[in-house]
């Protein structure tokens, strides 16, 4: 099996259920509070591992109880953790509200996640050269993402970037990206064009292809995902489920997609597997707490 390396953020998610989202200046009385592991990088690493991938994770944790708990958790999940770094800054924390429509609002206190330095990436270069698939997001400093993409690309790895949350990227990075997985809002921001349907997404994607991106999957929530790989554009439908919390659904999708690609499946097959895993993840509360096992994903797909 090909080796997946995830480089990204690690947070502790503090989640409150709320009947309605507060507007600025408003206090609302919410429901249950939960504390659980999160962070887009960690979520993608755990999703990929739980679905059967050979996964290592590079992140930066504080020297605090959140960091200790996170490291224990990653080991228990079976992630390779030799590349986990430590910072004097506090570990990342995300404050999340989830409403009755399963939508969320998230504010991240990045802490140690933003302390990943060029020296850290240089020290991780053996791992970056040894992986087959490098999966990253944008909750860590952009220079670190660029440097890692360059090293992995030059070593022949497949570089996958989920550009969430949106951050401006240097032009150089696009030619290192084999697979770009934005949502519609991110694609619109990167291309400078409005995106609201398949034709507009195809037009916006052309801007990114002209910059050097290899292939693209545009995630469109309940509308499914749009696959753009040089052949005819095609949509993979989202599975209909009763959603209770969409936190981490996109992360589950990216992690699952990389597992399927690591197993040699086509982009279409991988997208269907990722859609199933992501659908399962929204039926339960939390990010990693909601992520399915391989067995759950396969029985959902009727295998």
By CB under 6 A, what part of segment 122-151 binds ligand RIB? 139
Under the criterion CB under 6 A, does residue 247 sit at the interface with ligand RIB?
yes
By CB under 6 A, what part of segment 23-52 binds ligand RIB? 38-40, 43
Under the criterion CB under 6 A, does residue 108 sit at the interface with ligand RIB?
yes
Check if the beta carbon of residue 136 is closer than 8 Å to that of residue 7: yes
Under the criterion CB under 6 A, does residue 94 sit at the interface with ligand RIB?
yes
Question: Please, what is the minimum distance in Å from the beta carbon of residue 181 to ligand RIB?
Answer: 13
Whose CB is nearest to ligand RIB? 38
User: What is the distance of C-alpha 67 from the center of its chain?
Assistant: 20
Under the criterion CB under 6 A, does residue 11 sit at the interface with ligand RIB?
yes
The span from the CA of 182 to the CA of 220, in Å, is 9
Per DSSP, 248 falls in state: T
CA–CA–CA angle 195, 244, 106 (5° rounding): 60
Question: Please, what is the minimum distance in Å from the beta carbon of residue 106 to ligand RIB?
Answer: 5
Per DSSP, 183 falls in state: B
Instruction: Report the SS3 class of residue 209.
Output: helix
Question: Which of 60-68, 143-151, 197-205, 243-251 is the region at the interface with ligand RIB (rule: CB under 6 A)?
Answer: 243-251
Return all residues near 63 (Cβ < 8 A) that are at least 6 apart: 86, 87, 88
Active site residue 251: yes
The span from the CA of 135 to the CA of 222, in Å, is 23
Q: With respect to ligand RIB, which residue has the nearer C-beta, 81 or 246?
A: 246
Question: Which of 9-17, 45-53, 167-175, 256-264 is the region at the interface with ligand RIB (rule: CB under 6 A)?
Answer: 9-17
How many Cα atoms occupy the beta-carbon half-sphere of 35 within 13 Å?
6
By CB under 6 A, what part of segment 181-210 binds ligand RIB? none
| Residue 195 in tokens | 């995106």
Instruction: Supply the residues annotated as catalytic.
Output: 251
- Which residues are at the interface with ligand RIB (CB under 6 A)? 9, 11, 13, 38-40, 43, 94, 106, 108, 139, 247-248, 251, 287
């Amino acid at each position: 099996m090909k080796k997946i390396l995830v480089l990204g953020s690690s947070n502790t998610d503090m989640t409150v259920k709320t009947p309605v989202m507060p507007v600025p200046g408003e206090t609302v009385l919410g429901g249950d509070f939960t504390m659980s592991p999160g962070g887009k990088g960690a979520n993608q690493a755990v999703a990929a591992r739980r679905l059967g991938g050979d996964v290592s994770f590079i992140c930066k944790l504080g020297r605090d109880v959140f960091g200790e708990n996170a490291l224990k958790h990653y080991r228990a999940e079976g992630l390779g953790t030799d590349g986990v770094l430590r910072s004097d800054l506090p570990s990342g924390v995300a404050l999340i509200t989830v409403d009755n429509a399963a939508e969320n609002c998230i504010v991240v206190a990045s802490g140690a996640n933003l302390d990943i330095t060029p020296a850290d990436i240089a020290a991780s270069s053996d791992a970056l050269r040894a992986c087959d698939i490098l999966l990253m997001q944008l909750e860590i400093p952009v220079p670190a993402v660029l440097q890692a993409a360059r090293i992995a690309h030059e070593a022949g790895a497949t570089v996958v970037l989920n550009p969430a949350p949106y951050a401006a990227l240097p032009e150089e990075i696009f030619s290192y990206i084999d697979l770009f997985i934005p949502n519609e809002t991110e694609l619109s921001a990167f291309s400078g064009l409005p995106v609201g349907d398949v034709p507009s997404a195809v037009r916006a994607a052309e801007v990114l292809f002209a910059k050097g991106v290899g292939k693209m999957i545009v995630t469109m929530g309940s509308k499914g995902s749009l696959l753009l790989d040089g052949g005819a554009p095609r949509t993979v439908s989202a599975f209909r489920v009763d959603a209770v919390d969409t936190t981490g659904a996109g992360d589950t999708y990216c992690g699952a997609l990389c597992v399927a690609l690591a197993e040699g499946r086509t982009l279409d097959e991988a997208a269907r597997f990722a859609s199933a895993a992501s659908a399962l993840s929204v039926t339960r509360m939390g990010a990693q707490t909601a992520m399915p096992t391989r067995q759950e994903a396969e029985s959902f797909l009727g295998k």
